[in-house]
Amino acid sequence: MPTSDSLALRDHNFIWHPYTQMKTAALPIPIVRGEGALLYAEDGKSYIDAVASWWVNLHGHAHPYIAQKVAEQLQTLEHVIFAGFTHPAAVTFAERLIEILPQGQSRIFYSDNGSTAVEVALKMAIQYWQNTGTPKRKIIAFRDSYHGDTFGAMAVSARSAFTAPFWSYLFEVAFIDVPIPGREEETVKQLEELAQDGDIAAFIYEPLVLGTAGMVMYSPEVLDRLLEICQQFDILTIADEVMTGFGRTGHTFASDYVPRKPDIVTLSKGLTGGTMALGATSCNEKIYEAFLHDDKRKTLFHGHSYTANPVACSAGLASLDLLLQDGTQQDINRLSLRHETFAQGIATMPGIAQVRQQGTILAVEFEAGGTSYFSKWGDTLYSFALEQGVILRPLGNIIYIIPPYCITDEQLDKVYQTILGMQELVTGKRYFEPPTNTTLHD
């Protein structure tokens, strides 16, 4: 039992954690320091952050270059209202983002996180049709998608236990199946049928990889066909690159694999290298110009207290500097190749249902129950990984790796070995007794 002055017990006295049933949850692991791909706990144990702290960390923890740029900004300007004012970091960051974003993006609207970036995108799309005099109400999304936890983002996400208490409050969305290999034509047909309705405002999608669905993957070719249908029927397209952006899929953006480009792109997570909270929604000039009018009622009435925070923008600029360096691009290629090799080696092993890989993202689906968030295997595999000193957050029977790009080959080998240990657990060749967690109310 932790001592009364430990961080874990102090946390228990005051904090409510995300995605956590606080009655039965174990005391949290207190992390006091980070360096590279490692996180160090209060008791001195180190953990490999194989999920990049919810997919946000690109370059490693406490990166000195990002820390330097943040410190410099704090000495100059910590924040300024962004309505009627601007500042160098926001302008420079927007300019540099437009340079690397998918072709056609021309404007940046800043917000606070991935969910709010999606909210902005949805409001842009819906109000675009209002402003142009042809109101459209409906949104199309993938059936198993996840776009965030605010109300608009929940509405275009999968109906699940996460959103069940709020279903009656969510607006109508038309869902189509994910075009996984072998099922592409079904999805294309579904979209073609829905597109006949003249009331479709936009199609929002996670390009190539659906994260929370279990790292479900589909091809650039079928996505291009879906975008072609949307263009044919004048449906706006929103690429949710919150998870896939900034090198995760191998290219800078997943949309870079697809010939046709979206009208709107949402960004967060890796936007600041995992250093600061920041979101951004980009759009093409057609969208932007629909809001230019002498009538102020056609304004996009959206904003946040910390919109375009200078410190966050400076962190983003520093992260972008690092991302575009040859060394980082080499690391992305190294990770992608190593994942590919490991995937080929494990794919035919007993207990493995499927292995999926796209760039630096690797998912291993075990033949053990379902992918439900409430699967007992999720807790078992999570505890096993922690015992090995590796942080992995299973999606039911699916384990995924999205590490910081700086992870070493030795650290990556340890992660792979941990997954092989999980394979032995699933097939009954290894015995593991999950630690008896001291719950919060014992």
Residues 240, 261, 263, 306: which is the catalytic one? 240
Q: Are 131 and 286 in contact (CB under 8 A)?
A: no
263 is catalytic: no
The token pair that represents 102 in the structure block: 């998918």
- The DSSP secondary-structure symbol of 12 reads H
Angle between helices 220-232 and 184-195 (to 10 degrees): 10
Q: Which of 5, 19, 295, 326 is catalytic?
A: 19
Residue written as token pair 């579904």: 190
Residue 376 annotated in active site: no
Q: Which of 85, 97, 88, 108 is nearest to 288 (CA)?
A: 108
Using the 8-state DSSP alphabet, how is residue 147 labeled? -
Task: Catalytic residue, from 269, 306, 331, 400: name it.
Answer: 269
Indicate which residue of 128, 146, 257, 400 is catalytic.
Answer: 146
Q: What is the DSSP string of 308-363?
A: T-HHHHHHHHHHHHHHTSHHHHHHHHHHHHHHHHHHHHHTTSTTEEEEEEETTEEE
Ramachandran category for residue 133: left, alpha or beta (phi over 0 → left; psi -120 to 50 → alpha): left
CB 62: neighbour CB atoms within 10 A? 11
Give the alpha-carbon dihedral of 113, 116, 117, 121, to 10 degrees.
180
Q: State whether residue 103 is helix, strand or coil.
A: coil
Helical pair 310-323 and 88-100, crossing angle rounded to 10 deg: 40
Q: Residue 176, exposed/middle/buried by CB under 10 A (0-12, 13-18, 19+)? A: buried
CB 317 within 8 A of CB 92: yes
Report d(CA 24, CA 18) in Å as an integer.
14
- 431 annotated active-site: no
Q: Is 416 a residue of the active site? A: no
Residue positions annotated with a catalytic role? 19, 146, 240, 269
